[in-house]
Structure 1
Amino acid sequence: MTFTLLARLAAPLQSWGAVSRFSHRDTHSRPTKSAVIGMCAAALGHDRTELLGPLADIRFAVRADRPGTPVRDYHTVGAGTYPVRPRDIITDHRRAAALSASLEAATGPSFGHHPLSNWYGAPKKISSDPASGTLISAELSRTALITERWYLADASFVAALEHPDRSLLDSIAHALEHPKRLLWLGRKSCPPSGTIAGAVQAAALEEALTATALLPDATDSRPWAWIESPQSTTGTTPITDQPVSFHPDQRSHTNRWEYRTRISPEPTATKWDVIQ
C-alpha cells in the first residue's frame, strides 16, 4: 500500500528557481521537487550536510489550482554618486571643521549630538572620486550591476508526496505545521501563508489529487497537474529537479520524469480546512 501527503503552497509571492544564474533569477511555473523536498527537510530540522535518506524516494506531483502571475523585480546595484553622509562628517573632525559654518547654519549647533543622527548611513564599499569629490562605488568602478528576480504572485498549488511509509509522511505533515527551521516557498523572501499540510491519505498521487477539493482561491475547475512517473509512461518529459544532495559544497540534482494532465476533483472530494 502507498500513502500520499498533500501540502498547500500559497503566498503573496513564490519563486521556484530552475536554471537561475548570477544576476538573473528565474522562477519555474510551478513548485519544483527539489525545493519542496528541501522545505520538508528544513521543517524536520535536517542540516544541509545530511543525506536525504527516505526523502529522496518520495514520488512527487503538483496541482496548479491558482497558477499566479509572473512578476519581475528589477535591481541596480552599485555605481552612481551618493550624498555626503552625516555620520562621516560627525566622525571625521577635519571634514567637520571645514564644514562647521555651513553645518551650523543648516542644522543648528547641536547637529551630530542628537541620538537620531546615528541613524544616517550609506551603501558600503564607496570612496571619494578624486575628480569631483563625490562618493562613488569603489567595488563596481562606477558601473552598475543590473539584476532581475522573477516571482509568481498570488499563486496557490497543491503538492503531493507519495511514499509507502506512512509514519514518514505523518512526521512531515506535523513538521510542516510545527517546523524546526524557517520555511519559504523557493526563496527566503517568500514565506508560506496559512495551513500547509493536509491529511495523509491511503492512496496514490493521482487518486489523492482527485479525491481532494480545489483550494478556496482556485481559478480553474480542472487545473493542470504534473505527476512523476516512470520514463516508460506515455507522454512523460524529463525535468532536472530530483535532489541528490543539498550539501553546500556538493549540491547536485538529476533527472526524473513526469507527465501533465488535467485534474477534475470528484463531487465528494474532501474540502481543505485552510487557516489563513
Structure 2
Amino acid sequence: MSGHVLLIRLAAPLQCWGTVSRFSRRDTHSRPTKSGVIGLCAAALGHDRAEELGELAAIRFGVRADHPGTPVRDYHVIGAGKYPIRPRDIITDHRRAAALSASMADTEGTGFGHHELADWYGAPKYIVTEPDSGALVSKRLARGALVTARWYLADAAFVAALHHPDRAFLETVAAALESPKRLLWLGRKSCPPSGTLAGPLSSGTIESAFQSTALLPAQHVGRRPSPRPWAWIEAAPGAPAAVPVQDQPVTFDTERRAHTTRWETRTRITIAQNATEWDIIP
C-alpha cells in the first residue's frame, strides 16, 4: 500500500495501555494500542476531546516491540485517610466552606477563615468533625480503604508506525509530538514519555519502515533486543491470519467515547544490516 510512514518512539520507565479496565482493576495491554497512540497524537495537536478525529481516523497503524518490558502491579489504595485542608481551597469552593462552617459551628475559638484552620486535618470533600479528636475527616473515606490493581509495563520500548497518504499531515504530527500543545503520556498520566518521540518519516509500507529502521538502544546494560522483534500491523478485514482488535477510536468525547473493530496481523521483522539509526535526544 503506497503512502508515507511516520515512526514514533514510545519508551519510558512505565507505560500503561488499558483495553478492558473496570472499576478496581486497571489492566495494561502487552503493547501500545491504536486508540492510545491516536489519542497521544490528538493531544499533541491540541485537539479537544469532543473534536472529530479528522485525518487521524484515516491512519493505518502498526507497532514493533523492541523491548516488550515486564508487567508490574502497583499497590494502590483509595480512601481511609486524613488530609490537610488549605484555607484557600475552602474559600474558593462554597460547598466545602459551608460544610466546614457547619462542622465547626460548635468548636470554641475557631471558625471559617481562622488562622488556626491550617492545623485542622480532613478530606477535601464530605467534611465532618471527629467527636473525640476534633479532627476533620471525610464520611466517604472513613468507610475504609479500597485496594485497586493497577498494571504497568516497566522498562518497555516500542516503535509505533502511522501510515497515511498525505506526507504533509504526518510532518505536522511529527512537529506536534516534539512541541505538543497538551501534556503527553503513554496511556496514563503517571507515565510521561522519555526522550524523542518523532522518528524517521519515509515513503512505502509499515513493514518496510520497520525493516529499514534500527532497533531502539537497550535501556539497561546487558539487555539486548531480539534482532527479529515481533510487530503487529493493521490489515484489511479478512486478510490471511488477521485477527480482530477492538481499539479503533471513533471519538474521545467523554460523553460518547467509542471504539470499533479493526484487523491486524502479527509478524516477525528482520532488521536490515544498513538500517537507519535513531537520532534520540534523552
TM above 0.5, yes or no, is yes
**Which of 259, 267, 276 is equivalent to 2:273?**
267
Contact 2:174 2:198 in 1 (8 A): yes
SS in structure 1 at match of 2:73: strand
Measured in 1, the distance between the counterparts of 2:249 and 2:115 equals 55
Aligned pairs (5 A) from 1:48-87: 48-79=49-80
For residue 95 of structure 2, what is the aligned residue in structure 1?
Answer: none
For residue 32 of structure 1, what is the aligned residue in structure 2?
Answer: 33
Q: CA deviation at 1:4?
A: 0.3
SS in structure 1 at match of 2:266: strand
For residue 165 of structure 2, what is the aligned residue in structure 1?
Answer: 164
How many residue pairs are counted as aligned between the two chains?
Answer: 258
Measured in 2, the distance between the counterparts of 1:141 and 1:152 equals 33
Residues 74 and 171 of structure 1: CA distance in aligned 2, closer, same or farther (over 3 Å): same
Measured in 1, the distance between the counterparts of 2:39 and 2:262 equals 16
Tell whether 2:256 aligns with 1:245: no
For residue 198 of structure 1, what is the aligned residue in structure 2?
Answer: 199
Cα deviation code 1:200-257 (max 9, x no counterpart): 1011101100110100115222111101001222111111000001111111000000
SS in structure 2 at match of 1:212: coil
Higher mean displacement: 135-144 or 154-163:
135-144
Aligned pairs (5 A) from 1:75-224: 75-79=76-80, 118=118, 121-124=121-124, 125=126, 127-128=128-129, 137-140=138-141, 142-217=143-218, 219-224=225-230
For residue 109 of structure 1, what is the aligned residue in structure 2?
Answer: none
Contact 2:49 2:253 in 1 (8 A): yes
Measured in 1, the distance between the counterparts of 2:154 and 2:239 equals 33
Give the counterpart letter for 1:268 in structure 2.
N
Q: CA deviation at 1:141?
A: 5.2
Measured in 2, the distance between the counterparts of 1:178 and 1:132 equals 51
SS in structure 1 at match of 2:237: coil
Measured in 1, the distance between the counterparts of 2:164 and 2:180 equals 20
Contact 2:66 2:157 in 1 (8 A): yes
Higher mean displacement: 50-59 or 128-137:
128-137
> What's the TM-score, normalizing by structure 2?
0.82
Q: CA deviation at 1:152?
A: 0.7
5+ unaligned residues in a row in structure 1: which ranges? 98-111
For residue 106 of structure 1, what is the aligned residue in structure 2?
Answer: none
5+ unaligned residues in a row in structure 2: which ranges? 88-99, 219-223
Measured in 1, the distance between the counterparts of 2:130 and 2:119 equals 24
SS in structure 2 at match of 1:232: coil
**Which of 233, 243, 256 is equivalent to 1:227?**
233
Contact 2:122 2:135 in 1 (8 A): no
Residues 257 and 84 of structure 1: CA distance in aligned 2, closer, same or farther (over 3 Å): closer
Q: Quick check: which has more Rg, 1 or 2?
A: 1
Residues 180 and 113 of structure 1: CA distance in aligned 2, closer, same or farther (over 3 Å): closer
Q: CA deviation at 1:128?
A: 4.8
Contact 1:241 1:254 in 2 (8 A): yes
> What's the TM-score, normalizing by structure 1?
0.83
Measured in 2, the distance between the counterparts of 1:96 and 1:131 equals 15
Q: CA deviation at 1:94?
A: 7.3
For residue 13 of structure 1, what is the aligned residue in structure 2?
Answer: 14
Measured in 2, the distance between the counterparts of 1:275 and 1:135 equals 48
Q: CA deviation at 1:138?
A: 1.2
Identity of matched residues, %? 58
Contact 1:79 1:136 in 2 (8 A): no
Q: CA deviation at 1:132?
A: 8.9
